[in-house]
């Protein structure tokens, strides 16, 4: 009887550890995705900010040429 109880306890412990490990891994993957997204957004922002702003005469010229 004792052996049965110990076996069931160990089996349940292994299952709980596997579930906890999977949950932890998924949280790490989400964190990695968020970090990559933050890096991507910051790179895009830097590229946008590095481009010069167009003044009104340039915008009118682009509109007449049909590029805007």
Q: What is the pLDDT along the chain (68 residues), one digit of tens a residue?
A: 889 899 999 999 999 999 999 988 888 888 888 999 999 999 988 887 787 887 888 888 888 988 76
Residue 36 belongs to domain spanning = 2-65
Q: What is residue 55's DSSP assignment?
A: -
pLDDT of residue 12: 94
Summarize the chain as % helix, strand, coil (round to 5): 85, 0, 15
Q: Are 68 and 59 in contact (CB under 8 A)?
A: yes
Number of separate domains in the chain: 1
Q: What is residue 67's DSSP assignment?
A: -
pLDDT of residue 29: 86
Q: Using the Cα atoms of residue 16, residue 22, residue 28 and residue 34 in order, give the sign of their dihedral.
A: negative
């Amino acid at each position: 009887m004792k052996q049965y109880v110990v076996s069931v306890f160990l089996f349940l412990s292994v299952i709980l550890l596997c579930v906890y490990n999977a949950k932890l891994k998924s949280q790490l993957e989400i964190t990695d995705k968020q970090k990559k997204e933050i890096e991507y957004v910051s790179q895009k922002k830097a590229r946008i900010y590095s481009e010069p702003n167009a003044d009104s005469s340039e915008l009118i010229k682009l509109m007449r040429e049909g590029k805007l």
